[in-house]
Amino acid sequence: MELNGGMESSNNNITINPKRRRVGLIYDERMCKHHTPVEEGHPEQPDRIRFIWDALSSSGIANRCVIVNAKEAADNHLALVHTKNHIDLIKNISSKNSESRRKRIAAKFNSIYFNEGSSEAAYLAAGCVIEVAERVAKGELDSAFAIVRPPGHHAEETEPMGFCLFNNVAIAASFLLNERSEFGIKKILVVDWDVHHGNGTQKMFYNDSRVLFFSVHRHEFGGFYPCGDDGSHIMTGEGQGAGYNINVPWENGRCGDADYLAVWDHILIPVAKEFNPDLIIISAGFDAAIGDPLGGCRVSPYGYSIMLNKLLEFAGGKIVMALEGGYNLNALRNSAKACVEVLLQDKPIIGSLEAYPFESTWRVIQEVRQVLSTYWPILVPKIPDKVISKRTSHIEISSSDSDGEQENISLTVSEEVQTIEDVIQPFKNLKVNEAGQDQGGIAAPPSWRSELSNIDIWYATFGSNMNMSRFRCYIEGGQAEGMKRPCVGSMDKSKPKEIKWKTFPHRLFFGRERTATWGPGGVAFLHPKSDVKERTYMCLYKITLEQFNDVLLQENVSSYNLNHPLFDLTALQTIQNEQCISVEFVQRGWYHNVVYLGKENDIPILTMTCTLSDVDSFISGEFAINPPCKEYANTLIKGLVQGKQLSLEEAEAYIQESSTKAL
Ligand code: X5A
Ligand code: ZN
């Protein structure tokens, strides 16, 4: 541990490295005392900060930093952004005499738990961010990373929310502006890159031009936590604060490095240049990281380091990072580590970005620039078409049970780039494109299609596709009742050659909390393992293996420009021995596991569901088990009734049983 970070010794000579930056780290094990009972397995858990701390220590990175002692926040500092009532509530939580009493209080709030360690942890989290912010403002440290929990950015003036008790970042910002004016920090840029909108911080500075609040988050038009309109791009600030609140709301998950960097280059960096902050505080949640179970986005450690590095150009490098969310322990630890290495600035950032932003990202960026251009003239010019044409073919259509997304993913960055490059071509190459027009304009279908179009299979469905009119959209394209957006359909739009119903000895169950298509409520899954005690009704469609590939893709990622088949003849051979094949490319979809269910008239029966290991995650509680929402249940019931399999009452009872029986 090195307390005066500027010195290095070699061969007994003390050399001063003037470039070595003094990076503060602050951490205290007492912040681990806030937790739920272990068996409840809450994602906001002590290991989050332990992992980061251990990784920084064992890699020797912590030795190159200045370790700062933790400190609890003072009530008058908390009171800069919170009401007395709120402060008292958090202060007194630990002295409440019973666990059930605490539970009752927590239940009054949105996504909050308390235990006997909560008060101390909350005071420490806020105090630690204040502590390092003061030292960076003073110039004693160049920058700092506060490894704290509970997080803060959802906490509002009068209430805790979204795993957050005190708004650590807002308190520290307010503290510097109001209590330490002698340090000359008059303008603070708060960059909130947590995957969730920083509703609390936004409100606290909504009328304040001293704090430019910038948040990029999954929004989904108000459907993503913390649901509602606060995170919309039209929320630009009020009064003195007009123009000093910038929201970049993603329309969908799966956003990654390319999307974030496009936002940096075309919104945040130009505005930061104009605003010219005296200090930057980052609400550094890492729940937009690849593999985060809540975020469903794809930022890599490399992406975070570029984002951070670009900010180091401002405020003389005075950056305070405060941990917010981030629930995949590996992703969290690697991302945080990458950031501290950037702050230390002693090694170049290696890597390159191969992906392009989504089309929706460019649309969002243009909308944000549009609403803010009255305040920030630098945003007035249109982004050149040449820049915007660099985009990734987007998952335009998403209407399956799974919404083409799987929040728990484990692809590495290179695997991810590889699969995207391999399978999805840029949109401009799809069918007609201007550049391709000299070659006739229409791209020839890849040869695998004609080969697989000669093979028939039964596609067995147990979810909303039991409903014929719905399933037809996957073949013919179009939008059935209950679909948010239309399906593109399969390349070969011919109708199923035959339709049949059968029951199978497998368990039907429902998981997930909400989907873009159905809103809150579960998604149907078939346990991939058979069990004679179980019975699931399935509707079998005889379609070609080519069509099956298009359905498989739409069920998982909802794009149909396949250069290679996802499930080819070899796979069809293999699955008859192996029972299941997890289709790698669509691994982020919920239905990437193709399951072989035997034969009917000598034609193989295939279905798609989650993997056995996903089932384990449902059983352990890592993934939520959830009954289907009303509308979704009705679609299933309608399918069974119209397919003449069950009476209305029987179908209702069947769905009811599947959604309530323990796995
Ligand atoms: C800090 C943070 C997320 C809350 C999600 C509640 N909160 N469902 O990431
Ligand atoms: Zn978050």
655: left (phi over 0), alpha (psi -120 to 50) or beta: alpha
Nearest CA to ligand 1 atom 5: 162
Average pLDDT over residues 150-167: 98
pLDDT of residue 561: 55
Minimum mean pLDDT range among 6-20, 29-43, 336-350, 448-462: 6-20
Question: From the alpha carbon of 325, which atom of ligand 1 is closest?
Answer: 9
Residue 208 has pLDDT above 90, yes or no: yes
Using the mean position of ligand 2's atoms as its centre, give its distance from the Cα of residue 43 in Å: 11
Proportion of the chain above pLDDT 70, given as a percent:
86
Pairing relation of β-strands 498-504 and 536-544? antiparallel
Residue with CA at minimum distance from ligand 1 atom 6 = 162
CA distances from 46 to 29, 98, 325, 478 (A): 9, 22, 12, 47
- What pLDDT is recorded for position 614? 86
* Structure confidence at residue 564 (pLDDT): 76
3-class DSSP state of 161? strand
pLDDT class for 582, splitting at 50, 70, 90? confident
Query: Peptide bond before 226: cis, by omega within 30 degrees of 0?
Result: yes
Please tell me the predicted confidence (pLDDT) of residue 354.
Answer: 79
The number of the ligand 1 atom at minimal distance from the alpha carbon of 326 is: 9
Residue 432, pLDDT score = 30
Average pLDDT rounded to a whole number, residues 436-461: 75
The whole-number pLDDT of residue 412 equals: 34
Confidence grade of residue 588 (pLDDT, cut at 50, 70, 90) = low
pLDDT at res. 428: 25
* Residues forming beta bridges with residue 607, ordered by sequence position: 595
Question: At residue 180, does pLDDT exceed 50?
Answer: yes
Q: Whose CA is nearest to atom 4 of ligand 1?
A: 162
Q: Ligand 1: which residue has its CA nearest to atom 7? A: 162
Which strand (E) or helix (H) includes residue 26? strand 23-26
Average pLDDT in the 467-481 region? 88
Cα 86 to averaged position of ligand 1 atoms, centre (Å)? 19
Residues acting as catalytic residues: 154
Task: Kindly indicate the confidence band of residue 418, based on its pLDDT and cuts at 50, 70 and 90.
Answer: very low
pLDDT value for 586: 62
Ligand lying closest to the C-alpha of residue 196: 2
Distance in Å, CA 162 to ligand 1 centroid? 4
Residue 657 alpha carbon to ligand 1 centre in Å:
31
How does the average pLDDT of the chain come out, rounded? 87
pLDDT of residue 344: 96
Counting ligand 1 atoms within 8 A of each CB, the residue from 36, 110, 163 with the most, and so the one to mutate, is: 163
Contact between 625 and 523 under an 8 Å Cβ cutoff? The reply is no
More confident residue, 14 or 617: 617
Report how far ligand 1's centroid is from the alpha carbon of 73 (Å): 23
Q: For residue 594, what are the contacts with CB-CB under 8 A and spacing of at least 6?
A: 552, 567, 571, 575, 580, 581, 582, 583, 606, 607, 608
The answer to whether residue 458 scores a pLDDT higher than 80 is yes
The band of 398, judged by pLDDT with boundaries at 50, 70 and 90, is very low
Q: Give residue 544's pLDDT band: very low, low, confident or very high (50, 70, 90).
A: very high
Strand order in the sheet with 143-146: 66-68, 23-26, 143-146, 319-323, 279-284, 188-192, 211-218, 245-250
Is the pLDDT at 404 greater than 70? The verdict is no
What is the number of the ligand 1 atom nearest to the C-alpha of 196? 9
Region 343-350: mean pLDDT is 88
The DSSP output letter for 446 is P
Task: Give the number of other CB atoms < 10 A from CB of residue 551.
Answer: 27
Ligand number nearest CA of 192 is 2
Cβ–Cβ < 8 Å for 600, 590: no
Paired tokens of 369: 């620039």
At residue 521 the predicted structure's pLDDT band, cuts being 50, 70 and 90, is confident
Distance 192 CA to ligand 2 centre (A): 10
Q: What is the dihedral sign for C-alpha 169, 171, 175, 177?
A: positive
Could you give the angle at the alpha carbon of 187 between the alpha carbons of 159 and 67, nearest 5°?
A: 75
Residue nearest to atom 9 of ligand 1 (CA): 325
At residue 541, the pLDDT reads 97
Question: Which are the contacts of 500, defined by CB distance < 8 A and separation ≥ 6?
Answer: 458, 539, 540, 542, 600
Nearest CA residue ID for atom 3, ligand 1:
162
Q: Measured between alpha carbons, how far apart are the two ends of the chain, in Å?
A: 50
Q: Is the pTM of this model over 0.85?
A: no
Atom number, ligand 1, closest to the C-alpha of residue 152:
1
CA of 193 relative to ligand 2 center, distance in Å: 9
* Cα 335 to middle of ligand 2, angstroms: 14
Highest mean pLDDT among 297-301, 417-421, 626-630: 297-301
Q: Model confidence at 334, in pLDDT bands (50, 70, 90)?
A: very high
Q: Is pLDDT at 468 greater than 50 in this prediction?
A: yes
Above 70 in pLDDT, residue 9? no
| pLDDT, tens digit (0-9, with 9 covering 90-100), for 129-158 | 999 999 999 999 999 999 999 999 999 999
Among all bound ligands, the one having the nearest atom to the CA of 149 is 1
How far is 304 from 354, CA to CA, in rounded Å? 15
Q: In which residue are the tokens 């399933």 written? A: 471
Q: What is the pLDDT of residue 422?
A: 35
Residue 2 above 50 pLDDT? no
Whole-number percent of the chain with pLDDT over 90: 69
Predicted local distance difference test score (pLDDT) of residue 7: 38
**Which residue among 44, 45, 197, 227 has the greatest number of ligand 1 atoms within 8 angstroms of its CB, and so is best to mutate?**
44
Distance 506 CA to ligand 2 centre (A): 36
Give the pLDDT band (50/70/90) at residue 414: very low
**Residue identifier of the C-alpha nearest atom 2 of ligand 1:** 325
pLDDT at residue 438 above 60? no
Ligand 1 atom closest to the CA of 194, numbered from 1: 9
Q: Which amino acid is at 563?
A: N
DSSP H or E stretch at residue 248: strand 245-250
Ligand 1: residues whose CB is within 6 Å? 111, 151, 154, 162-164, 194, 196, 225, 285, 287, 324-325
Nearest ligand (C-alpha, residue 169): 1
The mean pLDDT value for 499-515 works out to 90
Give yes or no for residue 539 having a pLDDT over 50. yes
pLDDT of residue 516: 63
Q: By alpha-carbon position, which residue is closest to atom 1 of ligand 1?
A: 325
Does residue 16 carry a pLDDT above 80? no
Highest average pLDDT, of 191-205, 508-522, 589-603, comes from 191-205
Q: Which of 157-161, 337-341, 374-378, 568-572 has the lowest mean pLDDT?
A: 568-572
